């Protein structure tokens, strides 16, 4: 089965309810495996079986619901929806003029203004209000109308209804030569709502879209070397696998590739979070987005666009908003069922004041409009994604890819950690014992550099040039031109009465056994430290012998360890811990860790781990530094606090403002200010989240 994976931009989406409608509709399509969206980023990720659906049919399904949908790849050339600033400017000018006419009427009423003059002022206000309400208010009317056309409502529905009903009532009153009209309230309402939208968009852009930021690193110009020796400048997106590109000092690599030049230093901090430059030799793989520090260099393209490492990171970044945690599901459920209550509240306000309290039609209408506006659940819909998007962006900057909103939340709940030994708690490469003399180690490495044997590769760190004219004896060892040997005990002519697996014999016949040690992974001691405010009980699990596991555990300071553990054993241990009510984390990097990674509440792997381990993990560390795990847990706890604050605020906001609106204490303009302010407060609170060190 061939599957397609596409992320769509949804400029018309306003709330979690909009996203949920699209998700449900797409999920009902045959062959659609995944449909997950984010209201804050206005994105929808869809995975489908190409035998059952096409890109056009999926897009048509979204369009059929009344929402624009464009591929992220072409989003830059797509209209992102009505421009806010021109509409805000028109609303501001219209409001000032209508307010001037209204003030003339108010003062005129106190000074016996004639009815004809008053009606003239009303008609002037109408002439301004109608086009302004239709143009500046189109940002609300358009999505609301498209939604109604397809049988559902969005957050824009009560807002649009409030504007149009108030405008229509004012026109009717003007035709009846009535004394009171509400054109000033209509335009003031639009003006304050647009201010809220503008500030909300600015806050979102400042908070950052992690996936868009990553893809932006590939939006560069590339210099392609042609076969005839000429150079062609083109967009990175136009490169194909096999092209050779020239990258100068300070330029970003436009695609993943293999280094053709001898040596280069690159800054890969965007991928790894590590600011220290990386040295790469000829034949090394380089990632798109990395900055060349000492070019120019030539690179053969191996992966482009979404297939590149940074493209895959961007896809992972979108996963955090595609998978919803508990807080997001609560927020979605609240927003989904709230719109009918908004409309019901507005109707109740009108009926109560008009029929029960005997208020005028105009006063009752203004109360209903205020209720419609102030109860719009935008803050509740933004409560979780405002924080989640910010947390994802900060995590990526630290070299932490969290694949789901659920994992982001559960990182803060972890109370027991299990960690694999080889390649996870320890470095994947063995290192020679520190007791070896520098002279012997250097000579042995010179021989090892000329061999492809795994033990020789573990000994060779690239610091010593290979011995020339060395002879390798398969299965035994390697001999230098001066008679020095590196290999088995039999090859160097010495009894194998030590635990050493490799021996070096100098040209004078002196034999030195070489033992290897496992070195702790970077950041392990800090991760285990009791001073770490997110430190949890850690158990070391390994398939190695009990002796080897015990030796490493003692050197690393891990009190609880288990050796000779099969994948099934690891799974049973995790399940037993979960059965006791623990929220369990598993950190691993190998194929044998896959089952345990899948079973854990939160699983962590490295960017250098096996592909299957990365796929199974909820969190991938692009930089193999275990301190990042502590940082992710701290970030999760901070994010959850802000999410709870947002949900509490949105609840308190509605509890306080709805009675005020029903009591007639809020004008439509003030209701618009409060509603916009509530969304801005939620976005601003999410932006308070800061990175961790």
| pLDDT tens column, 80-114 | 445 788 999 999 999 899 988 888 876 765 556 67
Structure confidence by residue, pLDDT tens digits, 357-387: 999 887 888 888 888 777 766 676 667 777 8
**Tokens (6 digits) for 525:** 């001691």
Q: Is residue 58 part of a domain?
A: yes
**C-alpha–C-alpha distance, residues 549 and 569, integer Å:** 15
**C-alpha–C-alpha distance, residues 572 and 600, integer Å:** 11
Q: Is residue 28 part of a domain?
A: yes
CATH number of domain containing 459: 3.40.1110
Dihedral of CA atoms 47, 49, 53, 55 in degrees, nearest 10, equals: 40
**C-alpha–C-alpha distance, residues 429 and 555, integer Å:** 17
Structure confidence by residue, pLDDT tens digits, 495-532: 876 667 688 898 888 888 887 777 788 889 888 885 56
Active site residue 267: no
Q: Is residue 63 part of a domain?
A: yes
Q: Is residue 332 part of a domain?
A: no
**C-alpha–C-alpha distance, residues 170 and 490, integer Å:** 103
Is pLDDT above 80 for 612?
no
Is pLDDT above 70 for 332?
no
Q: Which of 184, 420, 460, 625 is catalytic?
A: 420
CATH number of domain containing 51: 3.30.70.100
**C-alpha–C-alpha distance, residues 499 and 433, integer Å:** 12
As for how many domains the chain has, the answer is 3
Residues 177, 119: contact at Cβ < 8 Å? yes
- CB-side exposure of 280: number of CA atoms within 13 Å? 27
Q: In what order do the strands lie in the sheet with 485-487?
A: 471-473, 477-479, 485-487, 502-505, 511-514
Q: Which residues contact 283 (CB under 8 A, 6 or more apart)?
A: 258, 259
Strands 477-479 and 602-606: unpaired
**What confidence score (pLDDT) does residue 273 get?**
44
Q: Is residue 617 part of a domain?
A: no
**What confidence score (pLDDT) does residue 613 get?**
67
**C-alpha–C-alpha distance, residues 259 and 480, integer Å:** 31
Of 77, 105, 120, the position where a domain reaches its end is 77
Q: Is residue 574 part of a domain?
A: no
Of 41, 62, 77, the position where a domain reaches its end is 77
CATH number of domain containing 248: 2.70.150.10
Q: Is residue 50 part of a domain?
A: yes
- Pick from 589, 557, 592, 586: nearest CA to 424: 589
The helix/strand count (H/E) of the chain reads as: 25, 27
Is pLDDT above 50 for 172?
yes
Structure confidence by residue, pLDDT tens digits, 394-437: 888 888 888 777 788 889 889 999 999 888 888 866 667 666 78
Residues 567, 592: contact at Cβ < 8 Å? yes
3-state secondary structure of 26: helix
Of 46, 77, 108, the position where a domain reaches its end is 77
**What confidence score (pLDDT) does residue 604 get?**
93
**C-alpha–C-alpha distance, residues 287 and 276, integer Å:** 16
**What confidence score (pLDDT) does residue 2 get?**
72
| Residue 78 pLDDT class (50, 70, 90 cuts) | very low
H-run or E-run covering 594 = helix 594-599
Q: Is residue 138 part of a domain?
A: no
**C-alpha–C-alpha distance, residues 219 and 190, integer Å:** 37
| Residue 199 pLDDT class (50, 70, 90 cuts) | low
3-state secondary structure of 538: strand
Range(s) of the domain holding residue 15: 3-77
**What confidence score (pLDDT) does residue 269 get?**
63
| Residue 467 pLDDT class (50, 70, 90 cuts) | confident
Give this prediction's pTM: 0.60
**C-alpha–C-alpha distance, residues 232 and 245, integer Å:** 9
Dihedral of CA atoms 406, 410, 412, 413 in degrees, nearest 10, equals: 160
């Amino acid at each position: 089965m061939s599957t397609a994976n596409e992320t769509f931009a949804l400029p018309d989406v306003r709330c979690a309810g909009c996203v949920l409608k699209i998700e449900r509709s797409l999920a009902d399509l045959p062959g659609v495996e995944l449909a997950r969206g984010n209201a804050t980023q206005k994105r929808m990720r869809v995975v489908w079986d190409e035998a059952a659906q096409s890109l056009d049919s999926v897009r048509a399904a979204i369009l059929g619901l009344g929402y624009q949908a464009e591929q992220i790849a072409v989003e830059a050339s797509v209209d992102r929806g009505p421009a806010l600033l021109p509409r805000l400017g028109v609303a501001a000018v219209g409001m000032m003029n209508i307010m001037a006419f209204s003030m003339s009427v108010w003062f005129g009423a106190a000074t016996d203004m004639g009815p004809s003059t008053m009606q003239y002022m009303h008609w002037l206000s109408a002439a301004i209000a109608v086009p302004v309400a239709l143009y500046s208010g189109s940002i609300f009317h358009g999505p609301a109308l498209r939604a109604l056309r397809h049988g559902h409502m969005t957050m824009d529905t009560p807002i649009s209804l409030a504007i149009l009903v108030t405008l229509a009532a004012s026109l009717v009153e003007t035709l009846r030569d009535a004394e009171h009209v509400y054109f000033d309230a209509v335009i003031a309402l639009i003006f304050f709502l647009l201010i809220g939208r503008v500030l909300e968009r600015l806050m979102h852009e400042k908070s950052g879209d992690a996936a868009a930021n990553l893809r932006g690193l590939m939006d560069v110009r590339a210099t392609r070397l042609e076969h005839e020796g000429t150079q062609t400048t083109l967009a990175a997106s136009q490169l194909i696998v096999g092209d050779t590109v020239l990258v100068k000092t300070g330029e970003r690599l436009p695609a993943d590739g293999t280094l053709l030049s001898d040596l280069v230093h690159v800054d890969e901090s965007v991928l790894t979070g590590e600011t220290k430059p990386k040295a790469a030799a000829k034949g090394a793989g380089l990632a798109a987005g990395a900055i060349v520090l000492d070019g120019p260099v030539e690179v053969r393209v191996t992966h482009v666009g979404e297939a590149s490492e940074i493209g895959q990171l961007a896809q992972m970044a979108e996963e955090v908003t595609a998978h919803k945690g508990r807080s997001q599901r609560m927020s979605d459920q609240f927003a989904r069922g709230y719109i009918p209550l908004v409309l019901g509240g507005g109707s109740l306000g009108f009926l109560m004041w008009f029929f029960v309290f005997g208020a005028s039609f105009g006063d009752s209408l203004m109360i209903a409009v205020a209720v419609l506006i102030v109860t719009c659940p935008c803050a509740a819909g933004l409560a979780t994604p405002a924080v989640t998007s910010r947390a994802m962006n900060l995590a990526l900057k630290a070299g932490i890819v969290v694949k789901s909103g659920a994992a982001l939340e559960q990182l803060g709940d972890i109370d027991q950690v299990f960690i694999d030994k080889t390649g996870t708690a320890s470095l994947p490469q063995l290192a020679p014992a520190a007791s070896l003399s520098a002279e012997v180690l250097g000579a042995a490495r010179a021989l090892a550099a000329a061999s492809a044997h795994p033990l020789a590769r573990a000994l060779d760190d690239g610091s010593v040039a290979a011995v020339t004219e060395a002879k390798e004896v398969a299965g035994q060892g390697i001999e230098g031109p001066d008679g020095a040997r590196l290999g088995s005990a039999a090859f160097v002519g010495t009894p194998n009465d030590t635990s050493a697996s490799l021996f070096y014999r100098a040209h004078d016949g002196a034999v030195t056994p070489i033992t290897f040690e496992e070195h702790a992974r970077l950041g392990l001691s800090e991760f285990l430290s009791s001073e770490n405010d997110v430190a949890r009980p850690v158990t070391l699990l390994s398939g190695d012998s009990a002796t080897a596991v015990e030796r490493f555990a003692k050197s690393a300071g891990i009190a609880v360890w288990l050796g000779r553990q099969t994948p099934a054993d690891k799974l049973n241990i995790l399940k037993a811990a979960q059965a006791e009510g623990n929220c369990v984390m598993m950190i691993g990097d190998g194929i044998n860790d896959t089952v345990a990674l899948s079973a854990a509440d939160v699983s962590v792997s490295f960017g250098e781990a096996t592909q299957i381990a990365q796929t199974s993990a909820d969190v991938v560390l692009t930089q193999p530094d275990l301190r990042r795990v502590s940082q992710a847990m701290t970030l999760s706890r901070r994010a959850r606090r802000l999410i709870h604050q947002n949900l509490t605020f949105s609840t308190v906001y509605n509890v306080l403002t709805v009675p005020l609106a029903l009591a007639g204490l809020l004008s439509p303009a003030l209701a618009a200010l409060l509603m916009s302010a509530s969304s801005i407060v939620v976005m601003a609170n999410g932006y308070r989240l800061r990175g961790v060190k």
